[in-house]
C-alpha cells in the first residue's frame, strides 16, 4: 500500500510503499477513504508534539473509511461498516489498523470528507466549551484563530450553545468565513487592538485560544471577572507564561485541554461528546468547512497550506 512516511524529524515526509498491516485481537483494519490534516501533524513531523510516535511512522491523525477486517475480540463492528477513527497516526495511507474503541459508526448521510474533517475539530471545541468551560447561554465567547480548523468549530458550537461569539482572525477573507459560521462580532488580528475591542464589546466570559502568544495576553486582559480561558494550542509558536497572581484579581480560571488525552483516563467524555455532535450533524446543525480537498500524492502540499496559514477550516486528503 502507499503511505506518507516520516523517516526523520529533519527531513520532509515522503510517499512510499508500506507493508499492509494486519489487525490485532482488539483492532480493525480500515480501507481509508479520507484523512483530515491537523496542526498537530506539523508538530509530529518536527518531533515536538506531546504524542509523537517513534520513527518511522505514518502521518495522519483522523480518518474515515470502510472496515475490511476485524480482530478476533472485536464486537460492534464488522467488515463493510463505514467508520471514522481518531487513530493519532497512520491515516495518510491506503489502509490503516486502529483500536476498535477509537472508531465510531458514520451516519448514512455523512460523506467521507466531512467525517475526516469532523472528530478532532468539533470534538475539541465541544469538550472544551461544554465539559471544561461550562459555557452558558448569554455569555460572551472570544474565539482566537477563528477561521482555523478548531477555531471555526468553536464559533459554530458557541452559537449553538447560546453564546455571543466574538471571532478574531487575520484578514477580511478569514473573518468572512467566521461570520458565515455564526460569529456576532469580528476582530481583525492584523490591524485591531484586540484588548480594546473586546472590552468595548463588554469583555469575554470564555476565551478559546489555539494561537497563544500576544493574542492570549491581550485576551487575558480583556476578560470579565470569573472568566475561563482555554489554551487549546500554540499556532503562533509562542507559549504564553501566565503569572498566577494576575489570576487572583478577577478570579480567572485557566483550563487546558488535550482532547485525545481523555482516551487514556475518561474515554466516555469523548464518546458522549461525539454522540452529541453526530446527532447535531444529522439534524443539519453543523456543517464542516473544508477549504481544500487534495489527493494523497499532494498531501505534502496540504501540510504546507496549513503551515503557511493559507487554509480555512480543514484540509482533507482523499485516498480511495
Q: Is the peptide bond before 50 cis (omega within 30 degrees of 0)?
A: no
Write down the pTM of the prediction.
0.89
Q: Do residues 249 and 303 both lie within one domain?
A: no
Q: Do residues 42 and 10 both lie within one domain?
A: yes
Q: Do residues 91 and 146 both lie within one domain?
A: no
Domain total of the chain: 2
Q: Do residues 296 and 246 both lie within one domain?
A: no
Q: Is residue 282 part of a domain?
A: no
Domain that includes residue 65, residue range: 2-118+288-318
Q: Do residues 129 and 215 both lie within one domain?
A: yes
Q: Is residue 283 part of a domain?
A: no
Tell which of 241, 259, 277 closes a domain.
259
Q: Is residue 20 part of a domain?
A: yes
At 104 the three-state DSSP class reads strand
pLDDT, tens digit only, all 320 positions of the chain: 999 999 999 999 999 999 999 999 999 999 999 999 999 999 999 999 988 999 999 999 999 999 999 999 999 999 999 999 999 999 999 999 999 999 999 988 999 999 999 999 999 999 999 999 999 999 999 999 999 999 999 999 999 999 999 999 999 999 999 999 999 999 999 999 999 999 999 999 999 999 999 999 999 999 999 999 999 999 888 999 998 999 999 999 999 999 988 988 998 999 899 989 999 999 999 999 999 999 999 999 999 999 999 999 999 999 97
Q: Do residues 183 and 245 both lie within one domain?
A: yes
Q: Do residues 111 and 137 both lie within one domain?
A: no
At 286 the three-state DSSP class reads coil
Look up residue 310 and give its three cell numbers.
493559507
Q: Is residue 160 part of a domain?
A: yes
Q: Is residue 267 part of a domain?
A: no
Q: Do residues 133 and 254 both lie within one domain?
A: yes
DSSP assignments along 31-97, one per residue: EEEEEE--HHHHHHHHT-STTPPPSSEE--SEEEEEEEEE-TT--S--TT-EEEEE-SS--SBSEEE
Helices 151-160 and 172-180, packing angle to 10 deg: 30
- Domain with 18 in it: what CATH number? 3.90.180.10
DSSP 292: E
Q: Is residue 216 part of a domain?
A: yes
Q: Is residue 264 part of a domain?
A: no
Question: So what's the pLDDT on residue 237?
Answer: 87
Question: So what's the pLDDT on residue 296?
Answer: 97
Q: Do residues 135 and 230 both lie within one domain?
A: yes
Q: Do residues 125 and 251 both lie within one domain?
A: yes
Q: Do residues 135 and 236 both lie within one domain?
A: yes
Q: Is residue 269 part of a domain?
A: no
Give residues with Cβ within 8 angstroms of 20, minimum separation 6: 1, 95
Q: Do residues 215 and 305 both lie within one domain?
A: no
Amino acid at each position: 500500500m502507499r503511505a506518507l512516511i516520516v523517516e526523520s524529524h529533519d527531513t520532509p515526509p515522503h510517499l512510499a510503499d508500506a507493508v499492509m498491516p494486519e489487525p490485532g485481537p482488539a483492532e480493525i483494519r480500515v480501507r481509508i477513504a479520507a484523512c483530515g490534516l491537523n496542526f498537530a501533524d506539523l508538530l509530529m513531523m518536527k518531533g515536538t508534539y506531546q504524542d509523537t510516535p517513534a520513527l518511522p511512522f505514518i502521518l495522519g491523525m483522523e480518518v474515515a473509511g470502510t472496515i475490511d477486517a476485524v480482530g478476533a475480540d472485536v464486537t460492534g463492528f464488522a467488515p463493510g461498516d463505514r467508520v471514522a477513527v481518531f487513530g493519532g497516526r497512520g491515516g495518510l495511507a491506503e489502509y490503516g489498523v486502529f483500536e476498535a474503541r477509537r472508531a465510531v459508526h458514520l451516519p448514512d448521510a455523512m460523506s467521507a470528507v466531512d467525517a475526516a474533517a469532523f472528530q478532532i475539530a468539533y470534538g475539541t471545541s465541544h469538550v472544551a466549551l461544554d465539559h471544561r468551560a461550562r459555557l452558558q447561554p448569554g455569555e460572551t465567547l472570544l474565539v482566537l484563530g477563528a477561521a482555523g480548523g478548531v477555531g471555526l468549530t468553536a464559533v459554530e458550537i458557541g452559537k449553538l450553545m447560546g453564546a455571543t461569539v466574538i471571532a478574531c482572525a487575520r484578514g477580511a477573507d478569514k473573518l468572512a468565513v467566521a461570520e458565515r459560521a455564526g460569529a456576532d462580532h469580528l476582530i481583525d488580528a492584523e490591524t485591531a487592538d484586540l484588548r480594546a475591542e473586546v472590552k468595548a464589546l463588554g469583555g469575554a466570559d470564555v476565551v478559546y485560544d489555539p494561537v497563544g502568544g500576544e493574542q492570549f495576553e491581550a485576551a487575558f486582559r480583556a476578560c470579565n471577572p470569573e472568566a475561563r480561558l482555554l489554551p487549546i494550542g500554540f499556532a503562533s509558536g509562542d507559549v504564553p507564561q501566565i503569572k498566577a497572581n494576575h489570576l487572583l484579581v478577577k478570579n480567572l480560571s485557566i483550563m487546558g485541554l488535550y482532547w485525545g488525552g481523555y482516551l487514556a483516563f475518561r474515554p466516555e467524555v469523548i464518546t458522549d461528546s461525539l454522540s452529541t455532535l453526530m446527532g447535531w450533524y444529522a439534524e443539519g446543525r453543523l456543517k464542516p468547512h473544508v477549504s481544500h480537498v487534495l489527493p494523497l500524492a499532494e498531501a505534502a502540499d496540504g501540510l504546507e497550506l496549513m503551515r503557511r496559514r493559507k487554509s480555512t477550516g480543514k484540509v482533507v486528503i482523499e485516498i480511495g
